[in-house]
Structure 1
């Protein structure tokens, strides 16, 4: 089983200063040239405040994030699963997870980064600023990543591929046979409503539970059986597969 996650705009600062970025040590090392090209382009647009503001969509409060892209080579690194923060990643509590959980994530979770392409959850990366829709001059992420990332993902994606990425990041690394899980809320009369912002929280809770229970999942039948065992509703519909957000709400005392 492979779980595909989007990155997050927000990143945790810091990391191990003795372990800086090593493109050759990242998962999918065949993407080294593509990664180097994006880093070069990101560094170029980040070198001036005026170009960084437009290219990276930075406001007055975030403009300093351009300096992250200028310091990628020597910046401290963290595992990707710890680097990202926000409503999807906070429920993971990755920094305090035990070794068995961290190992399951490293073996089964891939994050689709705009800067580095797909990376394993355990890959060590620095903080950076780049989104799927960032503008890097002649280098267009929407053309640069899809073919190369899709080929790389195909080498790892045997068995079930559960795609929890947002649309913009799915486009950067298409996986044709992946199962896209839609997060829904069920209201009065059983009406299903697809969630937007808060769908990330449900996805984070799902990946947290997967890591901490470390299931052996080969296909959707296995995933549904695991979900039922843990009180999580993963349901087949006419449109695909739904994850019911309420089934992942924390139990209140």
Structure 2
């Protein structure tokens, strides 16, 4: 099982420590592409119109300035750097040592800067969305798609892929649909089903935690994933096709 997560918008910078060790990152074949994106990001972030070019507000000025020195910035494990609703619900810090090892093995974060990293990979905090277009790189989802298709093929082989990414990050890699389950979250208000956003992040984080901390073996098929999710939620499995992933719909009470 591999749990695919998006990064958080907000990130917690490491206070001290060594800079990123590129050779130690998972999927080292992506390093040339990572360097290309990092260089382009640094150039844009040093521009006088950097905030507008990156599509962020004035409150994130310090984050954008940090983008200009990412090779030297202190790095920390991804599970510490990424914060926010989904990661709070996942609660890595409160897991047992064995559960943390499981998370380090089974979680992949799809990143606009790094392409794909594992939870234990040490990276600096940065500010960049997959929806961004960078000079000489283009729109990042399009840039990363062929890179990730090649780099993640071996990791995905024989695995059930639990896709908890937002649509922006899902666009950067399309895993094999027959082995992939996209996680959707709805609310049921007086019999009317509605898509939720904030609670979708929270619920996807809770699902990831449940899969990593529950007893027994990890789900290996969409049907087993449905059974595991049904231990905590009202859930339904929508079968996929040869071109479309399965869908796990979690329905929250209104």
TM-score greater than 0.5 by the shorter chain: yes
Alpha-carbon shift at residue 238 of structure 1 (Å)? 7.0
Provide the C-alpha distance between the structure 2 equivalents of 1:142 and 1:5, rounded to a whole number of angstroms: 15
Cα gap change, 1:238 to 1:157, in 2 (>3 Å): closer
Alignment correspondent of 1:242: 248
Which whole-Å deviations, capped at 9, do the CAs of 1:28-66 have from their partners, x for residues lacking one? 111010001001100111113x23112212222111211
Alpha-carbon shift at residue 242 of structure 1 (Å)? 3.3
Aligned residues: 244
Unaligned runs of 5+ in 1: none
SS across alignment from 2:3 = strand
Alignment correspondent of 1:165: 165
> Quick check: 71-80 or 22-31, which moved more?
71-80
SS across alignment from 2:148 = helix
Which whole-Å deviations, capped at 9, do the CAs of 1:109-144 have from their partners, x for residues lacking one? 100100000111221111001101223112111332
Which whole-Å deviations, capped at 9, do the CAs of 1:70-120 have from their partners, x for residues lacking one? 221122222212211111111122234321121111111100100000111
The match for 1:126 among 109, 115, 124 is 124
> Quick check: 71-80 or 28-37, which moved more?
71-80
Q: TM-score, normalised by structure 1?
A: 0.88
SS across alignment from 2:236 = strand
SS across alignment from 1:200 = helix
Alignment correspondent of 1:217: 219
Alpha-carbon shift at residue 152 of structure 1 (Å)? 1.4
Alignment correspondent of 2:108: 110
Q: TM-score, normalised by structure 2?
A: 0.88
Which whole-Å deviations, capped at 9, do the CAs of 1:212-242 have from their partners, x for residues lacking one? 22642211122123233x3233312478523
RMSD of equivalent CA atoms: 2.1
Question: Does the Cα contact within 8 Å between 1:184 and 1:242 map onto a contact in 2?
Answer: no
SS across alignment from 2:185 = strand
Unaligned runs of 5+ in 2: 241-245
SS across alignment from 1:172 = coil
- Matched ranges for 1:32-111 at <5 A: 32-48=31-47, 50-111=48-109
SS across alignment from 2:171 = helix
